[in-house]
Amino acid sequence: MRLYVTPASPWVRRVRVAINELGIADRFEYVQTRWPHSWGTQTVTTLAPDFAAATPVARIPALVTDSVTFTDSNAIVDYLNAEFGAYRLLAREGAARWKALAVIAVASGNLEAQIMRRAELLRGDDKRSDDFLAKMRDRQMRCHAAIEKDHLASFGETFDLAQITTAVACGYDEWRYGPGWRDAAPKLAAWYDAVAQRPSMKATEPAETPQR
């Protein structure tokens, strides 16, 4: 299987953490993608031909298997959880599934805000909207606080997809925007400091995307 990646992407990271937690990292070929800083607002015309051919969405992660191509992290982790994880990272059905999906939706909303904020920042001083940046930051802080208030106490022993997505949202915020998020959710920050030591998290710490 071929997984298109970059070390800066939190969506890629949640897939890679899931892969490492499932112990199946050696089943994948990891293909590094390259992006110009204009990716946030302009069509990227310099994508490698194999990547462009694999995904009309032209975003990462994308997973190419012998039988199917997935162009979204949710579809990828759903596939890996079912095919290789015996539903260990996300319950197949029932209350446990709905509870996890509720957490994932908040953590993903947080990640979307962080990526939109990043794209806006890349537009440059003269074009960016301070109102939009503030709106995204407010969403991030609300999401961190809501996970702390509504979900943290019920996190179980398994570092599952709900926890993985939450940890990746914390980690990206810290890496891109600094420790300010910790004020919004100090208990979540303490939890994050512990799970950030897991080998799956250590092996996938963010780094800047190679430029093209």
Ligand X SMILES: N[C@@H](CCC(=O)N[C@@H](CS)C(=O)NCC(=O)O)C(=O)O
Least CB distance from residue 94 to ligand X, whole Å?
24
- What is the rounded distance in angstroms from the CA atom of residue 37 to the CA atom of residue 92? 39
- Tell me: does residue 78 bind ligand X (CB under 6 A): no
Nearer Cβ to ligand X (105/190): 105
Q: Report the relative pairing of strands 29-32 and 2-5 from DSSP bridges.
A: parallel
From residue 90 to residue 129, the character string flagging contacts with ligand X as x (rule: CB under 6 A) and all else as - is -------------------------x--------------
Residue 4, SS3 per DSSP:
strand
Residue appearing with tokens 């400091």 = 193
Nearer Cβ to ligand X (115/188): 115
Prior bond to 56 cis, omega within 30?
A: no
For the chain, what's the residue count? 212
Nearer Cβ to ligand X (11/192): 11
Residue appearing with tokens 């800047």 = 208
- Tell me: does residue 81 bind ligand X (CB under 6 A): no
Interaction site with ligand X (CB under 6 A): 9, 11, 39, 44, 58-61, 72-74, 115
